[in-house]
Amino acid sequence: MNREQVLQELKAIIEEYWSKENQSNVVNYVPAFELEKKENWSLNAPHHEQEILKDIEKYLHYAVRTEHPYFMNQLFGGFDLASWVGETIAALTNTSMATYEIAPLGSILEKTLIKKLNTMIGFRTLDNPGEGIMLTGGSNANLVAMLCARQKKFPKMKKEGLAGKKLSLFVSQDSHYSFSKNALVMGLGTNSVIKVAVDKKGQMLPEALEKEIRHSQERGEEPFFVCATAGTTVWGAFDPIKELLPIAKNHQLWFHIDGAWGGAAILSERFSFLLEGCEEADSFAWDIHKLMSASLISSFFLCRHSGILRETNSLTEGSYIFHEYENTSYDMGPYSLQCGRKVDSLGAWLAWRHHGDEGYQKMIDHLGELASYLVEKINRTPQLELIREPPFLNVCFRILDSLGKHNQLNLKVRQKLIETGTAMINYYSDKGVVFFRLILTNPQVKKCDLDQLLTKIIDMAE
């Protein structure tokens, strides 16, 4: 089979997949042990193009449809055609982001996106351009933030290591688990991550942060980093940036904002107030694949301090790839922890090119309206209970059981939703209470979808 025939068959497969966008199940669920035995996954013998095309059909059959209106399981969802085209072209050209030489337009587009994001959050000014890098997710962005913070405060550690120092960092008790993983990677130990108490809304308490910093100093530790979460994973809470910043500055600590989920709030008339004061932070993590429908992975680390990324990540090795030439300032490799890195900028840039600021504002404000509508609907439904008033797009609720076995019922219904392919919504357990954690991130969702979803959940519970 020649290339043209393969493309024609592949086009037909994709069109068939798209045609079932709203009619099909969210997932054709099969338990892992059954699916592993169900098909032949062998890599030993060569396979003809027709067999490869059948493999693609098979993959799509079992894949979770994250563009489905009832996929509300994670902090991403939906489908953006412009971004998908960008991802396809990036794979077609199959290049790396190490240097301008190998990725000319990819390098320019990444820098363009970084300038745009830094301008929006206030890092880019007439006096300071700011800087940033695309990377493999919000967890990696938080790691780079920690590395930059350590480099800023302890520049000798880059070569000499910890040298017996006991460092400490401060995050809210509802922060992302990546900070503990990053402490593990950096050799700081997970005990170096100090979880600061939050209020009833899930926001870090400023007085608790001050207290924890002083206790850490009394123990002989050396604090170096504070993170405010802009959109916690479960509740969608935003830590009070303007109240936490003076504390970090007073103790000369790097102040990072984990806006992987909530960074896009800056684009919204409805939610932008939640990020007030972000321009004074030192760094910012932002995943535009989470709330702006760009393809996975479109993650950014942004920094107010120009030059710190190169200072943190660049080494004297690598002269075989990094040279001094007319385009050196466009080489992204010396700013990155990675060497090989795919061109994620094209899909992200095309998506923004398509929607523009106004389109994204309408998209996020629409999701905010849906969240308010859903909360009102839950509060008016006797069989359901809202766990907490949502500050953002995370709606947490549970089904009430007439026999009082609320946890068992919610877990059974959640599993049945997946097994039948009806919907995919995650759950969480807080203080012994199990509840649904529904995420509104797909801009294609309508109020009627939410009405039908709640009806399906109640019917299944009954």
Per-residue pLDDT tens over the stretch 434-457: 999 999 999 999 999 999 999 999
Q: What is the pLDDT of residue 295?
A: 95
Encode pLDDT of 57-109 as tens digits.
999 999 999 999 999 999 999 999 999 999 999 999 999 999 999 999 999 99
pLDDT value at residue 318: 58
Is this prediction's pTM over 0.85?
A: yes
pLDDT at 320 (0 to 100): 62
Calculate the average pLDDT of the chain.
95
Helix residue ranges per DSSP H, 74-169: 81-93, 104-121, 138-153, 157-160
- 446 Cα distance to chain centroid: 23
- Pairing relationship of beta strands 71-72 and 424-430 according to DSSP bridges: parallel
Q: What are phi and psi of 31, to 5 degrees?
A: -55, 150
Q: Residue 319: what pLDDT? A: 63
- What are 253-311's pLDDT values in tens digits? 999 999 999 999 999 999 999 999 999 999 999 999 999 989 999 999 999 999 999 99
Provide the token pair at 437.
Answer: 């954690």
In one letter, which amino acid is 329?
S
How confident is the model at residue 272, as a pLDDT? 97
pLDDT exceeds 80 at position 1? no
User: Residue 51: is its pLDDT beyond 80?
Assistant: yes
Answer yes or no: is pLDDT of 240 > 90.
yes
Sign of CA dihedral 117, 96, 261, 291: positive
**CA atoms of 206 and 196, how far apart (whole Å):** 9
**pLDDT for residue 18:** 92
Residue 408 pLDDT more than 70? yes
pLDDT tens per residue across span 313-364:
887 665 666 777 888 888 888 889 988 899 999 999 999 999 999 999 999 9
Which letter does DSSP use for residue 78 in this model? -
User: What is the structure's pLDDT at 327?
Assistant: 86
CB atoms within 10 A of CB 4: 8
Nearest-angstrom CA–CA distance, 329 and 325: 9
Helix (H, G, I), strand (E, B) or coil at 41: coil
Give the pLDDT of residue 20.
Answer: 85
Closest to 291 measured CA to CA, from 389, 392, 141: 392
DSSP class of 280:
G
Q: Are 26 and 421 in contact (CB under 8 A)?
A: yes
Q: What is the mean pLDDT of residues 137-149?
A: 98
| Nearest Cα to Cα of residue 314 among 331, 299, 335, 330 | 335
Q: Can you tell me the mean pLDDT for 13-38?
A: 91
Burial of 220 (0-12, 13-18, 19+ CB in 10 A): exposed
Percent of the chain at pLDDT exceeding 90: 87
Residues 233-241 have a mean pLDDT of: 98
- pLDDT of residue 234 exceeding 70: yes
